[in-house]
Amino acid sequence: MKYTILNFLRQLLLTLLVVFTVVSLVTLLIEFVPGDPATTILGETATQEQLDSFRAKHGLDRPAFFFTVNSEKGFQWNGVDNRYADYWLGLLQGDLGKSFRTDRPVLDMILERYPSTIELALVSMLIAISIAVPLGVLAGKNKNSLIDNFSSFIALLGISLPTFVIGPFLVYLFAVKYQIFAPTYSGNPEDILLPAVTLGAALSAILTRMVRSSVIEELGEDYVRTARAKGLSESKVVYKHVLKNGLIPVVTILGLQLGVLLAGAIITEKIFSWQGLGLLLLDDGIGKRDYRLVQGCVLVISVTYILANSLTDLVYRWLDPRIRLS
């Protein structure tokens, strides 16, 4: 019990540290992006009075951090009167601020798009697992055979091709040439298939190699020989015993790859105009220099990644009783 509480506190402290680091780095880096948010949003024709009013409304006329470095005055301390301190104060109250461009709460904008991104990531993961597990088991059972070589070739191809190559290729093949799917998001349920396959292709390739290696390793264990000696069929040995133990490292990879899926979703959502968090971050956040929207999107993605890793630990313990006993 004491170990469980300490482990929970350690995980909570680590989560808070990661969130603090992510928000701080994003806030710091976005200040180095060239351009003025007021000019970007209001346009080149805006008057100086309009620009000043916009900056005052969103606090852009105040220092970004606790200190500034001036070529004339040198190091200058600003105290708590800065945008960084204000953002953390609002964050502790559950307020992510308001969008510079729409003047809407950032939290509301994120909550509108967040389910679409999670849906895309989960469907992509499901497609990757559906491809990788049967192909990896088949390759592991038939080591160094033609089937194994073919699956290795497919896996290498999936890893080598980036999403910005696979995506347009699928659009051309299934949306332009054969017109089976819409090239961009149109509100139909089947619209998720092309972006999900695009996003899950690289993951399926990685998982296939992982499942293959795990199956080959587990097939050489003593418990497999014992199961065969008891007269169990080969399919029962592989799918009931070998696969369960072989999935332990695969689960770890899946948890870690969720963050990669969320990052890759930015490009995929842009290709297919999928109305998710990635498109919101890219077009409305970074494209419009909307500081608060960028900070909010990155914060939500990082927290999702942390929660996915925590869930992976729980599943890992369930699959391997030795971890629970330790």
Check which CATH number belongs to the domain holding 293 and give it. Answer: 1.10.3720.10
Q: State the greatest distance between any 2 C-alpha atoms of the chain, in Å, as a whole number.
A: 86
Q: Which residues of the chain have pLDDT under 70?
A: 1-4, 67-79, 315-326
| Separation of alpha carbons 212 and 151, rounded Å | 9
Residue 105's DSSP bridge partners are 98
Domain annotation covers residue 174: yes
Per-residue pLDDT of 121-173, as tens digits, reads: 889 989 998 888 888 888 888 888 888 888 888 888 887 888 888 889 999 99
Among 294, 295, 304, which Cα is nearest to 91's?
295
Within 13 Å and on the Cβ side, how many CA atoms surround 247? 19
For residues 111-134, one letter each, b for 16 or more C-beta atoms within 10 angstroms of the residue's C-beta and e for the rest, the string is eebbebbbebbebbbebbbebbbe
| Separation of alpha carbons 278 and 267, rounded Å | 7
Residues 170 and 86 in one domain: no
| Separation of alpha carbons 181 and 319, rounded Å | 39
pLDDT in the model for residue 63: 78
Domain annotation covers residue 100: no
Residues 62 and 186 in one domain: no
Domain annotation covers residue 69: yes
Domain annotation covers residue 99: no
pLDDT in the model for residue 70: 63
| Separation of alpha carbons 284 and 297, rounded Å | 11
pLDDT in the model for residue 325: 43
pTM: 0.81
